[in-house]
Amino acid sequence: MDIINLIGSAWPADNFWASLIQIFDVGNYAWTIILFTLVLKLVLSPLDFLQRFYTNKTMRAQQKLQPQLAKLQRQYGQNQNLLYQKQNELYKKSGFSMKGSCIVMLIYFVVTLVVFITLYTSIQYIAGFKIQNQFNELRSTYNSTYEEEYYTYLGVDYDIYNSYESENERHNYIVSLEINKINEDGQEVVLQNYNDAISSAQSEVVDKYLEIKDSWLWIKNIWIADKATSNEILQYNSYVSLTGDNSITEEEYNLVIQKLLDGESGTNGVNGYYILSILVLIVSFLSQWISRKMSQPKNQNGEKQQQPAMNKIMMFLLPIVMVIFTLNSSAIFSIYILFNSLISTILIPIITLICNAIENKNEKKKQEQNRVDYRRY
């Protein structure tokens, strides 16, 4: 098959993310998704930078205004409406606006959520597409091998066979040849040739599967979850659930991949060992911990202040949510989650240092401007 056609058939054509991921196709789907994750993260990094920049700016402003905010709290704490009004007046006077920070945070949250959910849906769709394509290829291998051996034994005339328009007519033609062979060689001989043809076709299916299977490191099948409760080869009900393909019967499905289900050539063992889930838990927690530490506000004495309890909860909650996704999605999406978290962990210190450098420079300019203005008077 032409390599361009091969690559073109490897991805569904009617899916936005699939079409985008296809651009980064390097032949191995796991490495493809890793490369795609890197590029996607870099493309979205300006938005991440803006979110952290405004968050950093907000914390610095609140830290600077903390003594005055505390004074307002003491004076107007009994009247929340008046307190809110006085706080807004203070913010306005100091040139600080919560609105800009909130808008950036909202945009960042919406974009991140939309990307995550749509990408999850698309990759699960791609997984179903790939599993179905894989089975169709195995079925084609089975049929061609079976027909080559058994139909050759029967003496099928393909000009006659192909002249029939309906499957029922072709079936009746094969049955007539089987009856002739039974009369010539005996039923046991025909049955032996039939069983040999099936066994040979199933063996070819095993060889074909080992040739086209999509594995990565310890994961035998990247289109299903990396866990010990999932086998490399899907049972019929799981196949239908993932692909939505109910055009074949369970009997035909099992007939084609019987030797794969039986574990011939080492197939159909456990698909993974929860390694991706463990790594995602560790890296996601580390990412949250670093983010929390680097954004922790300081008081006037330079000592780090305690952050809200919700921040601590999110530090533990988000990694758990990510692990739940890894346990209930394909290994390929778990790889995306892992490397997305890993890249974030690397970028957080870099972005934070840049934000701090910019804010320090701006503060230095303001201080110099204030000194110039003071000297004029």
9 class by beta-carbon count within 10 Å (0-12 exposed, 13-18 middle, 19+ buried)? exposed
- Give yes or no for residue 303 having a pLDDT over 80: no
Mean pLDDT of 172-185: 92
What pLDDT, on a 0 to 100 scale, did the predictor assign at position 297?
54
pLDDT digits (tens, 9 = 90+) for 111-127: 999 999 999 999 999 99
Distance CA 255, CA 322 (A): 38
Q: Give the mean pLDDT of the chain.
A: 84
Distance CA 294, CA 211 (A): 48
What pLDDT, on a 0 to 100 scale, did the predictor assign at position 34?
95
What pLDDT, on a 0 to 100 scale, did the predictor assign at position 1?
35
Alpha helix locations (H) across 65-166?
Answer: 66-76, 80-94, 98-146, 152-154, 158-163
* CB-based contacts of 9-18 (< 8 A; 24+ apart in sequence): 9/133, 10/130, 10/133, 11/126, 11/129, 12/125, 12/126, 12/129, 15/122, 15/125, 15/126, 16/118, 16/122, 17/118, 17/119, 17/122, 17/123, 17/126, 18/122, 18/125, 18/126, 18/129
Global pTM value? 0.81
What pLDDT, on a 0 to 100 scale, did the predictor assign at position 2?
35
Mean pLDDT of 119-137: 93
Q: Which of 357, 314, 319, 316 is nearest to 338 (CA)?
A: 319
pLDDT band at 13 (very low <50, low <70, confident <90, very high): confident
What pLDDT, on a 0 to 100 scale, did the predictor assign at position 226?
93
- Other Cβ atoms less than 10 A from the Cβ of 246: the count is 11
* DSSP code for 226: S
